[in-house]
Structure 1
């Protein structure tokens, strides 16, 4: 991707605030550790999203308008997973197993009424998987980002990229990370998560774009 299309060479990483009574969220701690760093000549901007339906997407939209980043990777916590999970597909459904941080618990509601049923990540997830494994980091491709706020943000990001002319050169996707050791098992140390995100950003910037983002369009991932 040409740096001329993104004069500031920015990469946006987002994480979430703690939710469901937790005191930490590894997604935010990990992206915050990379804020202000340079990877492949691009500046990393880290931002925290609220674990709240609707508000999280409005916050993300503001960031996209302000930054017009070359690459966006939203990161969330996935308790019970033992590896960095590269999410393949976002679906147009909000169906909350627990309440969000504002007390909302939507059931079978669309993220964006009238929009496509799903979007594929536009990250080169198989190349990212290989890069993570070469570094000895536990990693996997995941076929579901769930139906909570993580999927809500993932779907909203991909819908915005697909429909906003100013983001036509932006690539985006979602990554889930395990709990930290103090949160339970399985877990991953924070420095490993940070290293994994660094590898993901570097490899995504170096790899060719994945093409169509809507399922059914002949995309290969």
Structure 2
């Protein structure tokens, strides 16, 4: 596959609760300034609202036909940049910015309980650590059952796993927006390379 043709959408979230400035959107805007080399990057700010997510995520897939969508969210508890392995369907009780939560408390009625990303987050973590970026990166299996997890599951369901989710700590705790932007750049590039390799293997299997 020609590297110049890869398209990625990266989303961050708007303000909510005590996060009047959402570190995820700050980090995504820093990534936008840095770019992804030959790869095409589109960024989008996502409101912290379940119903908006349900219409916005499919529209991003339809509009851009990306190789990958990476969603970024803030976690007040995070001290590292955290790669989420999977999204979960049930347990959405927290009210969003419109004081709404789904009656079913799930993302997709009848969908699987959990969907894993096709990207091996442990590999991404190791590769990024090896670049000496100076940012701690870890892997998690629980994206928190709020808008982050809801968005991730919705995207994984639509893309059959071709999505990723990254949690970032609040700005200055310990990283600046610029440092987080650089970390996102490194992580997204590793994710794209891993996807390319996986697809290369699939094509080889078809040939034999």
Alignment TM-score, normalising by the size of structure 1? 0.81
Deviation track 1:193-216 (CA, whole Å, cap 9, x = no partner) reads: 111101111111212339xxxxxx
- The CA distance in 2 between the partners of 1:102 and 1:201, in whole Å, is 31
Q: Distance in 1 between matches of 2:140 and 2:103?
A: 23
- Counterpart among 142, 146, 149 of residue 147 in structure 2: 149
- Which sits farther off after the overlay, 129-138 or 144-153? 129-138
Q: CA contact under 8 A between 1:15 and 1:27: conserved in structure 2? A: yes
1:130 aligns with 2:123: no
Gaps in structure 2 of 5+ consecutive residues: 200-208
Does residue 1:95 correspond to 2:82, yes or no? Answer: no
Q: Counterparts of 1:65 and 1:109 in 2: how far apart (Å)?
A: 26
Establish whether residue 57 from structure 1 lines up as the match of residue 54 from structure 2: yes
| Contact 2:34–2:182 (CA under 8 A) maintained in structure 1 | no
Q: For 1:95 and 1:109, how far apart are their aligned partners in 2? A: 5
User: Alpha-carbon deviations, 1:145-172, whole Å to 9, x = none?
Assistant: 011010000000000012xxxxxxx821
Alpha-carbon distance, 1:124 to partner: 2.4
Count matched residues.
195
Q: Distance in 1 between matches of 2:103 and 2:125?
A: 33
So what's the TM-score if we normalise by structure 2? 0.85
Consecutive aligned runs of 4 or more in structure 1 exceeding 4 Å deviation: none
Which runs of 5 or more structure 1 residues have no equivalent in the other structure? 163-169, 211-221
Cα shift at 1:137:
1.3
Alpha-carbon deviations, 1:71-106, whole Å to 9, x = none?
A: 111000011110000001111024234x21111145
Residue 18 of structure 1 corresponds to 15
- Give distance in 2, aligned partners of 1:9 and 1:39: 10
Contact 1:12/1:45 (8 A) holds in 2:
yes
Partner in structure 1 of residue 175 of structure 2? 188
Note if 1:179 corresponds to 2:166.
Answer: no
**Equivalences for 1:163-174 in 2 at 5 Å?**
171-174=162-165
Contact 2:81 2:166 in 1 (8 A): yes
Provide the aligned C-alpha RMSD in A: 2.1
Q: Tell me: CA distance 1:36–1:191, structure 2 relative to 1, closer, same or farther (3 Å).
A: closer
Q: Where in structure 2 are the equivalents of 1:22-33 lying within 5 Å?
A: 22-33=19-30
Q: Shift of the alpha carbon at 1:107?
A: 7.2
Choose the corresponding residue for 1:140, options 134, 138, 147. 138
In structure 2, C-alpha distance between the alignment counterparts of 1:57 and 1:105, rounded to whole Å:
12
Higher helix share: 2
Distance 1:141 1:22 in 2: 23
